[in-house]
Structure 1
Amino acid sequence: MRWIHAAGRGLLVLVVIMAGYVASDARVDEGGGGGRGPLTLATAGDLTGYLGPLLWGWNRTHPGERVTLVELPDSADETHAQMATDLRGGDRGRFDVLNIDVDWTSEFAAAGWIRPLPRDRFPLKSFLPPVVDTATYDGRLYAVPYVTNAGLLLYRKDVLAEEGVRPPRTWAELEHDAKAIAPKHGLAGYAGQFLPYEGLTVNAAEAVYSAGGTILGADGTRVTVDSAAAREGIGFLARGIREGWIPGQALTYKEEESKQAFQDGKLLFLRNWSYVYAVASARGSKVAGKIGAVPLPGPHGPGTSVLGGSNLAVNAHARHPDSAARLIAYLTSAPVQRQVLTRGSLPPVRAALYEDPALVCRFPYLPTLRTAVLTAAPRPKSAHYDQVSLAVQAVVQDALAGRETPAVAVRRLARELAAISDR
């Protein structure tokens, strides 16, 4: 695996991490005995190769509780499918600790696949407040926030500076600049993640939320998507494809494809997660030093991002649940969370890190990201989330491709979601 080659280079750093971890406020049971032993940690593909060295640091100091990292596909949908297949099998399965998308917590908890966790074992008050809610179901903690995220609007600050315009704060400004400015500089206007997969659910939800709408009620069963706001949000994206300021190629984009298009200097604006800022700013990138980031725009001002990220959960049939909880406490401790950001370019859940001057200097988007996270909204909470997301993807893709009008698509989505909720 990629992380093995980085282990030697990270030795000194990881010794410091572990020293900080021992002294940190992450509460773990240091008593002997029950539930201790080796673990497997399952995660979607580690695109930056940071996680292996962190686990190497754990393995070095916990030889009796060694962790084996299992990397599943990069695609969220494929990772979900493999985790669900393993967990449905009962018994112990292959995975002890699971790094799950924040929106799988309710589904996995409702199915009895993951075990509830004691709140007082983890420093939840040190986390950004919205992220803790993503780890709960039916009033109980079923996971621990590990990384968070919120969609940002990345833009070519050199191009906007040359034109003498500020970054767009409304959809009208975004549309105008994508139409009028991008072609002058040989760029496409705007893109998000519009291939039918989880990323399309995120982009669609952000458009609906930004217009003031919702998809499901707070209880996860009441369907609320048939609204003027939903028609406006989906209509905004569909109009962009139809008029060409969102390139047709964007219908094939996931995170990585859209990131690459932006990094290759082909886009003026991109909706994506914060890791793209760090990767596209690295030495050798065609747009290094030319990137800015602002909150997503909405119809009349700042829009609403979907809360992203992942939570760490314990298989209900984990072989060594105490070791699993200890590992989670380690991965969410302050020193390790710092490394999640500095080595993995992933947004930590620890609130204090967003105000650390050294980190803000190195990652200037942190204040913007903090604001976006604190004002973000979760995807619909549902015990049938996988089915909800698939319905959103299929219907919105038809609207974006011009096979249905936004109004027809929204009515169809309401019917399909009602049928899912009635199951």
Structure 2
Amino acid sequence: MRGGAVGGRAVRICGVLLLTLLVLTAATASGAPRGGPAGATGGRGPLTVVTGRDLTGYLHEVLADWNRARPAERVELVELPEAADEVHAQLRDSLRSGSARYDVLNIDVAWTAEFAGNGWIAPVDRTGVPDSALLPSVLDTVTYRGRRYAVPYVTNAALLYYRKDVLDREGLEPPRTWDELARQASTLSRKYRMHGYAGQLLPYEGLTVNVTEAIQSAGGSLTGPDGEVTVDTPAALAGLRFLTEGLRAGWIPEAALGYKEESSRQAFQAGELLFLRNWPYVHTLSSAPGSPVAGKVGVVPLPGRHGTGQGVLGGSNLAVNARSPHPRSAADLLAYLLSEDVQRRVLTEGALPPVRASLYTDPALVRRYPYLPVLARSVASSRVRMKSARYEQVSLAIAAVTHGALTGRVAPEDALRRLDREVRDILLK
């Protein structure tokens, strides 16, 4: 009897151990949060931050300072490829699988709604940084359906770069409207044997942004205030025609149909372009010692149909993986990365536009980065991209359909009618 009881207890113990092992194995295979639930760790512990490639290396140093101060919440930085499309694909696949590999995600502002809508990132209820300390327009990039799912980290708005030496020689002010831009780009490019104007017109997210900016700068939009599709309108047609007619007239070179950010920047910096639409990082590179156009570059807000244009907000937000086992540490890290000291380093070491409003009027910084006041105005007048969990599909449709119009395969009005139908189909799925 006694031996049978011992044997039975041993069998039961072995059964419990086996069941426990099976549960743990299943949890690991399903991507359950490492380190157990947040309650088991008080929500604190080491973190992994994922980002696109850090081209300047500044983020390594910023996080090294955090690690020295908080060794129990040490941060590992994972860098994905430079191309935004690749970063998006890798993050989407990881989050869709339920992985907790990454705690904090540095994501493009256009992805915030998608990630929130799919339940991949957690609402952000505290940052320790008052809204009044941030540029007002960037706050719109972190909300989805009335709730915040991220904090702004880096902002961006396109600028118009121009050859100041050429315009000064001609006694001309930089263009404020499309008509002025077209006239100067046409006449001066021939006289100085340069191309007139270029943006990023290869069919990818850059083209979507360029087309959206043109439509907005003509008074149009892709969607209305209640989410209704507003693609097929006279204003949107005027915006698309600004680009198609520029290509047909030749003041936008055919080469622009293959430009992305870097290829267009290189063309401008090599002295091949009179005007360039691009992001703020171009100013630092084109004005650096050794640049063929150093000391010859000016910058103004984007021109529009009847005055200053309306850009598209770029930049990145910081979000917390909904499955992170250490959300309290993650929240503290977000507050640290929004601190004035780190935000200053974002600009001075990372060459990226910060989201702290005070830095745009800091006299020492304005002397060092004279484009800051122009950038502040451009950020204030820019609009956030469409907030939809299906934004990526919409962006692909915009780029594909409008590229057909730019290359002359499709009339602009036909392209917009088709795009209107495709956007409706995507959003109503």
Instruction: Give the aligned residue type for 1:49.
Output: G
Q: Is the 8 A contact 2:144 2:387 kept in 1?
A: no
Output the CA distance in 2 between the equivalents of 1:66 and 1:406. 53
Match of 1:121 in 2: 128
Instruction: Give the aligned residue type for 1:230.
Output: A
> Per the alignment, in what secondary structure is the counterpart of residue 121 of structure 1?
coil
Q: Is the 8 A contact 2:127 2:335 kept in 1?
A: no
Q: Deviations over 1:2-53 (max 9, x none)?
A: xxxxxxxxxxxxxxxxxxxxxxxxxxxxxx9612222221112223332222
RMSD: 1.4
Query: What is the number of equivalent residue pairs in this alignment?
Result: 390
Instruction: Give the aligned residue type for 2:337.
Output: L
Residue of 41, 46, 67 corresponding to 2:54: 46
Structure 1: tracts of 5 or more residues without a match:
1-31
Output the CA distance in 1 between the equivalents of 2:72 and 2:267. 45
Output the CA distance in 1 between the equivalents of 2:57 and 2:404. 36
Residue of 167, 177, 187 corresponding to 2:174: 167
Match of 2:45 in 1: 37
> Per the alignment, in what secondary structure is the counterpart of residue 312 of structure 1?
strand
Match of 2:314 in 1: 308
Residue of 366, 373, 386 corresponding to 1:367: 373
Are 1:74 and 2:74 counterparts?
Answer: no
Match of 2:98 in 1: 90
Q: Is the 8 A contact 2:127 2:332 kept in 1?
A: no
Match of 2:350 in 1: 344
Output the CA distance in 2 between the equivalents of 1:362 and 1:86. 40
Are 1:279 and 2:247 counterparts?
Answer: no
Q: Is the 8 A contact 2:109 2:141 kept in 1?
A: yes
**Map 1:161-200 → 2, pairs under 5 A:** 161-200=168-207
Match of 1:332 in 2: 338
Cα pair distance change 1:382/1:403, threshold 3 Å: same
Are 1:152 and 2:159 counterparts?
Answer: yes
Structure 1 residue 370 displacement after superposition: 0.6
Residue of 112, 115, 129 corresponding to 1:108: 115
> Per the alignment, in what secondary structure is the counterpart of residue 344 of structure 1?
coil
Match of 1:376 in 2: 382
Q: Is the 8 A contact 1:191 1:250 kept in 2?
A: yes
Structure 1 residue 395 displacement after superposition: 0.8
Cα pair distance change 1:73/1:218, threshold 3 Å: farther
> Per the alignment, in what secondary structure is the counterpart of residue 213 of structure 1?
coil
Instruction: Give the aligned residue type for 1:273.
Output: W
Q: What TM-score do the two structures reach when normalised by structure 1?
A: 0.90
Structure 1 residue 124 displacement after superposition: 2.4
Are 1:65 and 2:73 counterparts?
Answer: yes
Match of 1:11 in 2: none
Q: Is the 8 A contact 1:226 1:410 kept in 2?
A: yes
Output the CA distance in 1 between the equivalents of 2:61 and 2:411. 49
Q: Is the 8 A contact 1:182 1:268 kept in 2?
A: yes
Instruction: Give the aligned residue type for 2:286.
Output: A
Match of 1:253 in 2: 259
Match of 2:240 in 1: 234
> Per the alignment, in what secondary structure is the counterpart of residue 349 of structure 2?
helix
Structure 1 residue 60 displacement after superposition: 2.1
Q: Is the 8 A contact 2:113 2:388 kept in 1?
A: yes
Q: Deviations over 1:44-69 (max 9, x none)?
A: 22233322221222222222222222
Bigger radius of gyration among the two:
2
Output the CA distance in 2 between the equivalents of 1:355 and 1:192. 28
Match of 1:264 in 2: 270
Structure 1 residue 150 displacement after superposition: 0.8
Structure 1 residue 119 displacement after superposition: 3.9
Output the CA distance in 2 between the equivalents of 1:267 and 1:403. 26
**Map 1:344-423 → 2, pairs under 5 A:** 344-423=350-429
Q: Is the 8 A contact 2:140 2:384 kept in 1?
A: no
Output the CA distance in 2 between the equivalents of 1:95 and 1:406. 43
Structure 1 residue 85 displacement after superposition: 0.8
**Map 1:5-16 → 2, pairs under 5 A:** none
Structure 1 residue 91 displacement after superposition: 3.8
Structure 1 residue 120 displacement after superposition: 5.7
> Per the alignment, in what secondary structure is the counterpart of residue 285 of structure 2?
helix
Q: Is the 8 A contact 2:41 2:326 kept in 1?
A: no
Match of 1:317 in 2: 323
Output the CA distance in 2 between the equivalents of 1:57 and 1:255. 32
Structure 1 residue 345 displacement after superposition: 1.4
Residue of 185, 189, 214 corresponding to 1:207: 214
Q: Is the 8 A contact 1:148 1:349 kept in 2?
A: yes
Structure 1 residue 244 displacement after superposition: 1.8
Structure 1 residue 77 displacement after superposition: 1.8
Q: Deviations over 1:344-379 (max 9, x none)?
A: 111110001111000011111111111111111111
**How high is the sequence identity, in percent, across the aligned residues?**
62
Q: Deviations over 1:148-191 (max 9, x none)?
A: 11111011101111111110011011111111102322211111
Q: Is the 8 A contact 1:295 1:372 kept in 2?
A: yes
